[in-house]
Structure 1
Amino acid sequence: MEHNLAVGLDIGTTKIVAMIGRKNEYGKVEILGIGKSKSLGVHRGVVNNITQTIQSIQQAVQEAEVASDIKIEGVTVGIAGQHIRSLQHSDYITRANSETVIDEEDIDRLINQVHKLVMLPGEEIIHVLPQEYKVDGQAEIKEPIGMYGGRLEANFHVVVGQVSSIRNVGRCIQSSGLNLEGITLEPLASANAVLSQEEKEAGVALIDIGGGTTDLAIFRDGIIRHTAVIPFGGNVITEDIKEGCSIIEKQAELLKIKFGSAWPGENKDNEIVSIPGLRGREPKEITLKNLSKIIHARIVEIVEQVYVEIKNYGHEEQKKKLIAGIVLTGGGAQLKHLKQLVEYITGMDTRIGYPNEHLAGDSDEDVTSPLYATAVGLVLDGLKRNERKKIEQQEKKQEAKEEEKPLEEIKEKPIKERRSFLDKLTERVKDFLDNAE
């Protein structure tokens, strides 16, 4: 596949989406094809049946290939699920020589130190995100490189996850005949797709309500500050409707989508939906008021748990205030009156996030649905990774050329971008898969 193409694979609890995108000449992303299949082997964001997941992946990929007439080789995949948790941690290093300036290596040393944190069995650090640095006790430094100092410390946002779950995702991709090109944290992917840079600066909480989980990512001053995965999503609402109304799942899902609302006040008592009974049984009559009450009870629970996380981040403190409020995305964000409910519970400004921030202007309506936020974000991530690879290759070629020149002509090398944890993780998962046969 050419370098300006990328494929995002969103392995969700309800659906698996394969999306092919390319960058156009204006730097915007065009979506060339989408494939979607029912996700059968995933529970609460975690693969629990490898065979079924492989079949669902292959079906989605095939559909995307047919739609775009492009053969898919490698994919960027998102990881989420109930095993992801995050913690705050600070650490410091003492530099041997405070008369030299702080460089990349010092920061790497500091970040590697975080790796010594003791985790629960089976957990591994997925992501270490430096929040702010201190040099010799001087606080609030955003970029310490180039400064003098003996003691370098930082606050980190550390994301942890279950190694086995991540390897299982890798396994499914490999067995589907695809290359694993990159792994991204899903809340980060969705955030890239729906948030503007201004929102990330001002302070914003992105809530991605999926089928099996609800992901939260909080940004402030352009940096991710907090992430959390809450193990409930749209599916528990469907379950509740199914139980509460004694109907089958398919009917419950349709009811939720067509008539559901998060706000019971607005339905009149006499609004009734009639649902065909199973095999010769009488049809059931369900009042919309009851339907909304069931949905309301569950969605309030989800929103309240998310709000606890927002408070954990410290939203009430003046300098951590989220000025841009809340952005809702994911399939669950399509529930009627959800925005009003969230504003009512949290007292924060709320909007629905559509993944059109980086998409070409003429993109299809359905691509820009909140349903596809994660998939679009994964495509963006894949494209970014391709660009980085291209730059690295050019640098290598450049170096090879330069080595033939006399020494005095070699310019100072530009500072290379530090490889992110997810890139290292991707490599570790790949190595593991290659050696696991």
Structure 2
Amino acid sequence: MEEKDIAVGLDIGTTKIVAMIGRQNEYGKVEILGIGKSKSLGVHRGVVNNITQTIQSIQQAVQEAEVDAGEKIEEVVVGIAGQHIRSLQHSDYITRANPEEVISERDIDILCNQVHKLVMLPGEEIIHVLPQEYKVDGQAEITEPIGMYGGRLEANFHVVVGQISSIRNIGRCVKSSGLELSGVTLEPLASANAVLSQEEKEAGVALIDIGGGTTDLAIFKDGIIRHTAVIPFGGNVITEDIKEGCSIIEKQAELLKVKFGSAWPGENKDNEIVSIPGLRGREPKEITLKNLSKIIHFRVVEIVEQVYLEIKNYGHEEQKKKLIGGIVITGGGAQLKHLKQLVEYITGMDTRIGYPNEHLAGDSDEETTIPMYATAVGLVLNSIDKRRKKEEEKKEQEMLEAQQPQPSIFEEKEAETEEGEALEKNHETSPQKEERREPRGPRKNIFEKWFDNFKDFLDNAE
């Protein structure tokens, strides 16, 4: 097996851990080769609270996926979410020393690095800086300022913040499971890649990913992510309500929710009853489906209203920020009966259920295209994208090296002598000259640089 052939996504969720192996076919679509799933025992609301149990769950899911695909997993892209993730909007600017020179990648790097100096709450760190749009000398709505002239460069940023200890714990679990961490991605972004089309992102769309422990929101407009939020409620609180309301055990509550649950209580008649076996020879319990739907309805309304408040905070009622694509619901919670109708009723926005088949091959197994696996599919896509970028960088580097004329032995010696003399005379060279001499490859974004530092930390940790 060639390592570059396969891509692996690892979704560490509150209720389940999914390892998914995929490969890109000749048509650019993704084929899912294998899936492994295990019960998530050491994660609460997206945050690891038991390292040992999480490692065991990861190993179980990975082993199952390896058997399913007949491939060995060595490195994975992991999704991060959890109640500790928050986002904010920030504007910043730099005044350039020489406005007569065109704006370069270096100027954008300086501006982005300036955002990283923002003061955060204790234990928090900026993990993602996403430039939204730029302004050059007051000229607004510029998407790509490189190559333009200007003295003042401004930008609006979408900044994603998280508790660094929580992210490091996930990294430690992955490494302790015998896996290499090749990337870290925000789960709402991964889910969005799997279920949204480019047209929807351009038109404006809100993606709601209802997981077990959290509900993730990602808002896109003009093809750019504009807002992200993690709401600390998910399918688990609905199960908990059923358990308490019907006085039954958790396993039975989960089964009731999946098999008979509905977000709309009006459809059930009073005489529709389901019988639950009693514990250790006790009498069976009879529960009306109308009551079950009422319990589910109240909790789902609460979750949807919290999400809608975040959409309002983004300002979707403004003409410029209007979400023409409406709402897309995905994740395990999206499989709840009549959820689409309830979301439309509360928000008044067009809604559809998001299936992760946007980039999958046509002959994909039905099991892989259910909303529950949206994040895992998105992480596989992210892994494939990372590999493609690496290969492009490598090719570009090789081309640059090939273009440089190979000096003869005499020229090499002469160059070495000249270089030695130059270094003795002057140790310093101007940054512009230095930049010109280096072969330029594709620029790493801020998140990739942050990930490199994070990986170094994990490698050096005891």
TM-score band, normalised by the shorter chain?
over 0.9
- TM-score of the pair, normalised by structure 1: 0.97
CA deviations on 1:384-404 (whole Å, 9 max, x unpaired) are 000111111222223333344
> 1:261·1:338 contact (CA, 8 Å) conserved in 2?
yes
Give 2:153's aligned residue.
Answer: 152
> 2:340·2:352 contact (CA, 8 Å) conserved in 1?
yes
* Cα distance, 1:416 vs structure 2: 4.4
Q: Does 1:293 align with 2:318?
A: no
Give 1:259's aligned residue.
Answer: 260
2:76 aligned counterpart, secondary structure = strand
Counterpart-to-counterpart distance in 2, 1:99 and 1:427: 34
* Cα distance, 1:417 vs structure 2: 3.8
> 1:183·1:425 contact (CA, 8 Å) conserved in 2?
no
> 1:183·1:422 contact (CA, 8 Å) conserved in 2?
no
Structure 1 ranges of 4+ moved more than 4 A? 411-416
* Cα distance, 1:414 vs structure 2: 9.4
Compare 311-320 and 393-402 and name the one that shifted more.
393-402
- TM-score of the pair, normalised by structure 2: 0.92
* Cα distance, 1:258 vs structure 2: 0.4
Counterpart-to-counterpart distance in 2, 1:315 and 1:81: 25
Counterpart-to-counterpart distance in 2, 1:282 and 1:112: 65
CA deviations on 1:250-293 (whole Å, 9 max, x unpaired) are 00000000000000111001111000010011100100000000
Give 1:89's aligned residue.
Answer: 90
> 1:209·1:333 contact (CA, 8 Å) conserved in 2?
yes
Percent identity reads 83
Match of 1:420 among 442, 445, 454: 445
Counterpart-to-counterpart distance in 1, 2:392 and 2:355: 31
Could you tell me which amino acid in structure 2 is paired with residue 174 of structure 1? Answer: K
2:82 aligned counterpart, secondary structure = coil
| Aligned counterparts, 1:356-435, within 5 A | 356-405=357-406, 416-435=441-460
Q: How many residues align?
A: 433
CA deviations on 1:132-188 (whole Å, 9 max, x unpaired) are 111101111111111111000000000000100110000000000000000000000
1:327 aligned counterpart, secondary structure = strand
> 2:393·2:442 contact (CA, 8 Å) conserved in 1?
no
> 2:397·2:439 contact (CA, 8 Å) conserved in 1?
no
CA RMSD of aligned residues (A): 1.4
Q: Which runs of 5+ in 1 are unaligned?
A: none
Give 2:103's aligned residue.
Answer: 102
> 1:3·1:387 contact (CA, 8 Å) conserved in 2?
no
> 1:130·1:157 contact (CA, 8 Å) conserved in 2?
yes
Could you tell me which amino acid in structure 1 is paired with residue 240 of structure 2? Answer: E
CA deviations on 1:101-133 (whole Å, 9 max, x unpaired) are 111111111100101100001111111011111
* Cα distance, 1:405 vs structure 2: 4.0
Give the number of the structure with larger relative contact order, counting CA–CA contacts within 8 Å between residues 6 or more apart.
Answer: 1
| Aligned counterparts, 1:96-175, within 5 A | 96-175=97-176
1:83 aligned counterpart, secondary structure = coil
Could you tell me which amino acid in structure 1 is paired with residue 21 of structure 2? Answer: I
Q: Which runs of 5+ in 2 are unaligned?
A: 408-435
Q: Does 1:73 align with 2:98?
A: no
| Aligned counterparts, 1:185-204, within 5 A | 185-204=186-205
Q: Does 1:328 align with 2:329?
A: yes
1:98 aligned counterpart, secondary structure = coil
* Cα distance, 1:202 vs structure 2: 0.1
Could you tell me which amino acid in structure 2 is paired with residue 260 of structure 1? Answer: G
Give 2:273's aligned residue.
Answer: 272
Would the alpha carbon gap of residues 413 and 355 (structure 1) be closer, same or farther in structure 2, given more than 3 Å must change? farther
Q: Does 1:239 align with 2:240?
A: yes
Q: Does 1:37 align with 2:62?
A: no
> 2:22·2:33 contact (CA, 8 Å) conserved in 1?
yes
Counterpart-to-counterpart distance in 1, 2:186 and 2:82: 10
Structure whose CA Rg is larger: 2
Counterpart-to-counterpart distance in 1, 2:139 and 2:189: 30
Compare 301-310 and 422-431 and name the one that shifted more.
422-431
